[in-house]
Structure 1
């Protein structure tokens, strides 16, 4: 099974016929494997290179500086996550990676309205502005992809975007440091998992390491391809579509070659519906008038998954 490469520019710029053709390619990719590469997604290579430079700057800071921004709770889900702090497979040791989570500047939970919850270092305005600009660009790309999903699934084109308009998305800078000592038994860089939300945009550096599980159970490589972004469907999209679109497990293993001594960087944009959005099976995805899952609110689902991870 190969992860397909889909040119997204005809969807962004084309007429109804070309948009439907791209949406059909996306439908096939999401149905068969849950992963795809989007070429020409609407983000310049210069902006992507710049955010990777900012990410390397942040992770090169001393640990005690990064810990000033430490992740503290599932509701905000912001800040620095140290090595081994997250455990994507609960029965294995903590993952050999560190991360920095950013979302919109204010909380959307009713209990804490309009409170700035991102965590920033003082006197790092350039870092803050560039990371937030990239977050906003990803919001725009995600909305375009969600429009394609809507066309593919035969619902109104704004069906998904209106359920994501609170922009409860998380941008995650990720660093997998060189392995300098023997890992614990069963320890990996990022454990096998599926993503929690609706869709994910993933940007990789050239070191690579991402593996995707095909339906056969085989793990296949998903290397970085220039001028593309990896897009995959998450658990809530799988629930919405009654498994018509699949939420596929993926992982990052510890390299077995010279890459073990190199840093790997990636950037993930996790697209989540509004917290109060009800995730219920789409009419076009019902099988014999039955739904696999009961309705659930997107916020309730996300909190339960984060609580199980940390």
Structure 2
């Protein structure tokens, strides 16, 4: 049975070269075999995470007409409030039973101090993870970090409301999808429902583990590394017990390269097979995926 590994970052951030290399090896294995990992001792403040969850809950508790005043308008901006069923992550299924609020680095400044602090902390952690990726692939340590230095990331608060009526056939809380960027940091409550698809095609649960951050690799990292690191399909299912009456909350930090970075297969990843994908600019890829997700509705 495949399990999502738990990796302790302490040995990378505070240790000598040998211990750091052991962590790098674990990261490589996780990204290569399943594309998901739990990080312990990530350096993120528990209090800050709780503050952001509290802020998120208070926002989603607002009346719909108030939330709609900050509605998501277009894929070029990709910020603001996204209503229930507005997104269809799996194009073959009904709209997702969730609502979301997207924030950019500039947008965070006008919202709340805890959001700004959280965005900055996530950026710092993402840079550390990108550093481990570079070392895992025998690249210069700052190879990925400098290609993400414009902080073109999106902080997304998510609310999956309790179900009042039966879902439509095939409808879930978040449809099967892979993430679009390089990596995602995910913080979730303990209601559950997140599932990850293994390379064998089986779905396994990714329950909340206290004091960890889930990290998964996205499409652009998969393209960059010629599938050495995999971008894994995942989804959020509707619970089949009393938790269906509970709200589920999560916070995702989507880490994306600078728009003008060309995502072309790395030479170090061409030893076993020739490039799978043609080069593409990071910004163009993100735009195409957002357009597909929101369609014309």
Q: TM-score, normalised by structure 1?
A: 0.92
| 1:202 matched residue in structure 2 | 186
- The whole-number CA distance in structure 2 between the counterparts of 1:265 and 1:63 is 17
Do residues 147 (structure 1) and 148 (structure 2) align? no
Rounded Cα–Cα distance in structure 1 between residues aligned with 2:34 and 2:21 = 20
Q: Does 1:217 align with 2:211?
A: no
Deviation at residue 283 of structure 1 after TM alignment = 1.3
Q: Provide the residue aligned with 1:39 in structure 2.
A: 40
Query: Residues 46, 282 of structure 1: CA spacing in aligned structure 2 closer, same or farther, 3 A cutoff?
Result: same
**Deviations along 1:11-57, whole A, 9 cap, x unmatched?**
11112222111111000000000000000111011111111111111
Q: Is the 8 A contact 2:152 2:258 kept in 1?
A: yes
CA distance in 1, matches of 2:8, 2:112: 31
Whole-angstrom CA distance in 2 between matches of 1:260 and 1:24: 39
Aligned to 2:69: 68
Q: Within 5 A, what are the aligned runs for 1:154-173?
A: 154-173=138-157
Rate the CA distance shift 1:227–1:96 in 2: closer, same or farther, 3 A: same
State the secondary structure of the residue aligned to 1:192.
strand
Q: Where does residue 101 of structure 2 map in the other structure?
A: 100
Count of matched residue positions in the alignment of Structure 1 and Structure 2: 293
2:18 corresponds in structure 1 to 17
Hey, what's the Cα distance between the residues in 2 that align with 1:238 and 1:257?
36
Measured after TM superposition, the shift of residue 287 of structure 1 is 3.3
Distance 2:68 2:10 in 1: 41
What is the distance in 1 between the residues matched to 2:146 and 2:108?
A: 28
* Match runs of 1:227-306 below 5 Å: 227-288=211-272, 290-306=274-290
Unaligned 5+ segments in structure 2 are none
Partner of 1:80: 81
CA deviation map 1:159-191 (0-9, x unaligned): 000000010000000000000011111111000
Q: Is the 8 A contact 1:69 1:119 kept in 2?
A: no
8 A contact 2:108–2:116 mirrored in 1: no
Q: Does the 8 Å CA contact 2:160/2:247 hold for their aligned counterparts?
A: yes
Alpha-carbon separation, structure 2, partners of 1:119 and 1:2: 35
Contact 2:108 2:115 (8 Å CA) reproduced = no
In the alignment, is residue 54 of structure 1 matched against residue 38 of structure 2? no
Q: Decide whether the 8 Å contact of 2:105 with 2:152 is kept in 1.
A: yes
Give 3-state SS (helix, strand or coil) of 2:112's partner.
helix
Aligned to 2:92: 91
Secondary structure in 2 matching 1:245: coil
Q: Quick check: 1:78–1:119 contact (8 Å CA) kept in 2?
A: no
4+ residue runs over 4 A deviation: none
